[in-house]
Amino acid sequence: MDPISIVSAIAMIFGLLTADAVVNADTVAVQIDVPASVARTGYTEDVAERIFTHEFETMNQTPSLLQPPLMRSARQPTIIGVIASSLRLDNFTAALQDLLGLERTRITGAIVTSAPGERERLLINSSSASSGAFSLDLSEAGDMDRLLRRAALDTMERVQPYRAALFQFNQISASGGQDYSAVVQLAERELSRPLRAEALEERSFLQNLLGIVALLNNDLDEAERRFRLSFYWNPGFTVGRINLAFIHVERDRYQDAIELLTPLVAGGLRQRLSNHSRRFGFQQEAMLNTLGTALWALGDLDGAEAAYKRATREHPTSAGAYAYWARLLRERGDEQAAAEKEKIAHVNALTFENYPEIANLYFWMSPRDNQPLVRRVDVPALTR
């Protein structure tokens, strides 16, 4: 082979390995070692890892603006990893991730056997840039399935505390509960740790979630404090600013809401979010609905209608934007157009998907002063 071909082949392999390092940087690799005595009961290493990762994936299915990590068994290499192994470059991907400053999380566990009838133990070790190193020593009496699922939850609380807190928050909300003390305790524990640059986004989402909990408890003072804290150390955290603008509208500080949101609109929120998935359509809709309601409250009906119209363009399956637009049109005397928009709102509400980070997906806003918080259940006539 001529020198140019050799150099080209090396460059291609290097490029593939580098791409593999970047693509799999956010992947959590799990490996659980199982002794032969336990494997004979059916809980092989493959089964144990499947139960563990399934529990992780269940928690990661909670809708969120924060992208969840991918899960895989450490025994299942990527396609490029197979190539690296054949070339004896097994550690090259990991080394590249370290060199590029990319996140790597690896969870290793070992089931420890004891005398028959005694408690089984599962030892967990993990390390990542965001969570640091930690170890867990868990045990259960004769229930391996429960032990593995419990280990997954406890590990998630340390590897990705926000996802664990959000999962608990949704579990409580779905069951009709109102006691979010477990969520607050988990979030506060993580926020009490020393501030690290690697965990800024995680901390912002935790502060924002505590703001949502405060809103559900009708505590606007605490909600405002939390939303402000969510972007204090992380100025680029847009969700907290949108939720603070919601607080401004609820407290009849309409001009404050407009001044907070206008730079986000003028600065091109779409450009900053264009590389992300469609979940950010909800964020754009929330921003424009809040801006539209603040403009409406100050008498700028044309500006309000333009904001609602743009919100439906940014997020065509929105129920809220069409509902606000319908009410505004009705107030302007265009009953036919209002009825058309209201009909679309009702249809879209049938497939309504809530992202728990956004305040105005929980509550209706009003352009009227001195109005209480009103929960969104469906698409009412919005008579406030």
pLDDT band at 63, cuts 50/70/90? confident
pLDDT tens column, 134-189: 888 888 877 888 889 888 888 888 888 999 999 999 999 989 999 999 999 999 99
The pTM of the whole model exceeds 0.85: no
Across residues 254-269, what is the average pLDDT?
Answer: 84
Q: What is the pLDDT of residue 130?
A: 62
For residue 305, CA distances in Å to 134, 288, 318, 368 come to 52, 10, 15, 16
Secondary structure (3-state) at 135: strand
> What's the mean pLDDT in 82-93?
49
pLDDT at 75 over 80: no
Compute the Cα dihedral for 222, 223, 228, 230 and give only its sign: positive
User: Is 11 or 155 the better-scoring residue by pLDDT?
Assistant: 155
Helix, coil or strand: residue 348: helix
Residue 5 confidence (pLDDT): 56
* Residue 202, amino acid: E
Note whether 180 and 172 are within 8 A (CB): yes
- pLDDT, one tens digit per residue, over 305-320 is 999 999 999 899 999 9
Which residues make Cβ contacts (< 8 Å) with residue 369, sequence separation at least 6?
252, 297
Per-domain residue ranges of the chain? 3-159, 163-234, 237-384
Tell me yes or no: is domain 237-384 CATH 1.10.1330.10.
no
